[in-house]
Structure 1
Amino acid sequence: MFAQTAQAHVPVAFAGSGAGTAPLTWGQKAIMQDMRETGWTHNVSGAHPVPPGVTVEQVAAEFAALMARHPALRMRLGDGDGGPCQVVSATGETVLDVVDVPDDADPADVATFAYDLGHARLLSHYDLYRDWSVRMAVIRHRGVLVHRVLTIDHLVVDGTATSLLLADLGLAGRPVRRVADPRTVQILDLGRREETPPLRRVSDRAVRHWAEHLRDIPPLTFGEPAAGGRQGHRYWHGRFSSPAAYLAVRAIAARTRTDTSRVLLAVIAVAIGRATGVSPLTAKLIVGNRFRPGFAEAIAPLSQNGVLRVDAADTTVDEVVARARRAAVSAGKYAYYDPAQLAEVSGRLDAERGYPARISCRINDRRVTTRQAADVGPHDDPVTAERIRRRSDETFLVWDGPLDHLPEQMFITVEDQPETVYLQVIFDFGCFTEEQAERLLRGVEEVAVEAALDPAAPTRVTAGSAGG
């Protein structure tokens, strides 16, 4: 963007407690499996404004203190028995990158530059045998710090852990705990605990739950690839946003006395059934696992795939909401397990049924800041057809570009955007036509609105279709 920038590297020394070596955690194994299957970095990265008056020295001191407080940020990979392990260092040195942009640059262009740097680091691969898991940069314009770019490797954080670290730095809207919770587990202890008999039994129960869902699934959730792709590419990512669906989902949640996550799951299942004929839907649901003792504020990747099945055929949308709620509770209960153990059981089931099979639909509600507002925020006016109509003009669907590869046929993420149902989506257009994919996404709004205005609204999905 700029013809010339200057970059300096400020050394940041740190020291902290909790050093040692331990096996990888189940969450780390799950992330590494995702990295292998997708080829993506899975980094967490973004740019944040710097308050007026903050100096490079202050940011460097905050960086050092952050590394000292959290052993997970001092973790690198080592070689253990049979594969990688985690190694947390007591001391070390990293750098704070200070990037100077031209004085005559427009502030809006500087903000774009900071965003682009965050995005570039999002896509940069770490070598966690050598690199520290956190990178930090500040952008300086006209002698003043204006933006900070923070990038963290997914092997040490999930969405909740990232929010906790941002709060620790004063970059999020939630207060930092002043008294540490003594139950909070550190990343090395977590890896050790997961090798003990009590947690091995937790994994055993979870894998048995998975086996019940995997035993009779088809080779792929949406059938074998048949179409040629879109514009010469099979995998495409896009965005769908619907403020009208947001109003409708909130109304359904209030009426059915559940939360918006369960309603969205049900609405998506119905929309999938209408567009593809697949019902019941067997899908992977990303679960945070934060409800377990000592996990709420742990700096560690704790999210793993749960598995559920939702039948949307020959019933009402409200009934599917009830089914989705029950299925999601079970998925959450059995989403903490050793991925290596699940892989062994999956291979055995493949041999028993006589063909390899996998669940190729994944759903992730990763809202953090907006979920609570959607669930418990004030409901000002009743949801009416007129109110929905006024917001429906704001609905949009765009395809942003192709991807080289995706292990799923469909991946839907509910994003943290206020007052809208905002979906980041990836489709395999070898299995969906473009018309099918668009009908599915616009069907999310259609199903939600129908059910918001009519408690008896039918799903219009027929039994006996090609479900998993």
Structure 2
Amino acid sequence: MTEPVVERIPVAFSGPGAGTAPLTWGQKAILQDMRATGWPHNNSGAHPVPEGATVEDLAHRLGVLMSRFPVLRMRLATDADGRPCQVICASGEIDLEVATFADDVDPRAPIDYGNTLWREWLMTPLAPHTPWLLRMAVMRHRDAAVYMVLAVNSVVADGTGTLLFMSDLGIGELAGRKVDGDAIGTLELARREQTPQARRVSERAMRYWAGHLRSLPPKTFGEPRYPGRLGERFWHGRFNSPAAYLAVLAIAERTRTDTSRVLLAVIAIAIGRATGIDPLTTNVIVSNRFRPGFAEVIGPLGQDSVLTLDLGGTVDDVVARTRQAAMVAWLHGYYDPDQLDELTARLDAERGHPARITCRYNDRRLTTRPPSEEVAQGAAVTPEMIRAKLGETFLVWDGTVDHLPEQAFINVENHPETVYLQLVWDMAVFTTEQVETLLRGVEEVAIEAAFNPAAPTRVTPGQVSG
């Protein structure tokens, strides 16, 4: 592919909301994740340009965007006492990167370039390329803007927050939606989190966490058993099952439970079958946007919570336990991460050894989950429908990642009409066969219970499959 000519167009901006405040709890949480994983945690994507927009139009929109949303003008700093803080600037300048392709190149070339670029930006720290926590590029071909790439660091906004401000650019799943201009800003949120009322919320969460952390083993799935894999030990894979999706809908409809809780229960049972771990204690990533006034905050609002699931009895029993446990976990997923660090250190000292939850679950279905819940309310799934989809199931391994603090990290991805999982496993703890048994077990558990409320979990504590 012919390489484009890349230039930078400076875009000035200024807006209200300047000031300094401590980090919010969500910002602390994502920064902890960055330190633990070594990943930049960018939200990055490629998008068709809104119809009729030119490079000049997009430069103007970028300036308006930076002016309107104070958090996009944020820089991380330290205060007079050496503590991390956020600084919102009143004005500044950001570059719009423009990649111009020769007229005679294939029209697909700018799109292919943009798709490669967004994947690169996903894992590339922004700091060497821009003084801001946002980066934007436009692909130009035959004097027309044809494609664009945007990346924003998760300290600025989580997935939903990113979609909200992207609506001003006319891109993303929320394009055209009017965003609440009076939503809480990160400076105000950080100050609220210093109040006695907020501290009480965090204290309650710590009491909840203590109940789950006090009797933990050192690691969820034990110590490394396969020392030969201690080099490239963290393997990344993808699992896709439209059949499991239909089965989950059937279970959700019968049990009057949302699909997220059913999926969590089904995945936990599959883990129990493959590993013999019962009960299972796992971290779950909670979006605190359900809290009053938080729905349209442009900022990071995701934090870990914790729950423990007894995997005995029937699948429906576990779904019912998951529904209750998840509700409580979500209510205790908003807290000061510094307090959790202090609690963890104290409990480590009390038990005489460090102990960590090394299983993590994240339902990332921002736009596909609501339609799933609507369908589940009147799902008319049949065994024939499920069997017809079995041929579309796949499991692929995509290689290794450098490091992960968890032994198992399971993401439910935003793909319609399927259970699509992105996963990273510590292969110094699991065998390949065990992981593949576990993942195919997700489909098996769901199908077994789709039309049978008495389907047993078949989890035998201590018995490992694979």
Instruction: Tell me whether the two structures share a fold, i.e. TM-score over 0.5.
Output: yes
CA contact (8 A) 1:229 1:428 kept: no
Counterpart of 1:104, as a letter, is: D
**How many residues in Structure 1 have an aligned counterpart in Structure 2?**
463
SS of residue matched to 1:225:
coil
Residue 22 of structure 1 and its aligned partner are, at CA, apart by: 0.3
Cα deviations across residues 66-105 of structure 1 (Å, max 9, x unaligned)?
Answer: 1111110000012212322100011111011110123333
Change (3 A) 1:126 1:110: closer
**1:310-329 alignment to 2 at 5 Å?**
310-313=309-312, 315-329=313-327
CA contact (8 A) 2:94 2:130 kept: no
CA distance in 1, matches of 2:461, 2:376: 38
Residue 230 of structure 1 and its aligned partner are, at CA, apart by: 6.0
Change (3 A) 1:177 1:142: closer
Identity of aligned residues (%): 59
Aligned Cα root-mean-square deviation (Å): 1.9
CA contact (8 A) 2:278 2:461 kept: yes
Look up the match of 1:283: 282
**1:6-405 alignment to 2 at 5 Å?**
6-80=5-79, 81-127=81-127, 131-174=131-174, 176=176, 178=178, 180=180, 182=182, 184-228=183-227, 233-313=232-312, 315-377=313-375, 382-405=380-403
Cα deviations across residues 1-46 of structure 1 (Å, max 9, x unaligned)?
Answer: x343201111110111000000011111111111111000000111
Counterpart of 2:64, as a letter, is: A
CA contact (8 A) 2:212 2:306 kept: yes
CA contact (8 A) 2:55 2:140 kept: no
Residue 232 of structure 1 and its aligned partner are, at CA, apart by: 6.0
CA distance in 1, matches of 2:262, 2:67: 41
Residue 316 of structure 1 and its aligned partner are, at CA, apart by: 0.6
Question: Could you tell which deviates more after superposition, 47-56 or 169-178?
Answer: 169-178
Counterpart of 2:191, as a letter, is: R
CA distance in 2, matches of 1:238, 1:114: 24
Counterpart of 2:244, as a letter, is: A
CA distance in 2, matches of 1:171, 1:374: 23
Residue 167 of structure 1 and its aligned partner are, at CA, apart by: 2.1
CA distance in 2, matches of 1:31, 1:128: 20
Change (3 A) 1:40 1:337: same
CA contact (8 A) 2:161 2:300 kept: yes
SS of residue matched to 2:368:
helix
Which ranges of structure 2 fall in alignment gaps of 5 or more residues? none
CA distance in 1, matches of 2:341, 2:396: 36
Counterpart of 1:336, as a letter, is: Y
Residue 106 of structure 1 and its aligned partner are, at CA, apart by: 2.5
CA distance in 1, matches of 2:418, 2:334: 30
Change (3 A) 1:378 1:441: closer
Residue 465 of structure 1 and its aligned partner are, at CA, apart by: 6.6
Counterpart of 1:224, as a letter, is: E
**Residue 452 in structure 1 maps to residue 450 in structure 2:** yes
Look up the match of 1:431: 429
Residue 127 of structure 1 and its aligned partner are, at CA, apart by: 3.1
SS of residue matched to 1:355:
coil
Question: Could you tell which deviates more after superposition, 456-465 or 272-281?
Answer: 456-465
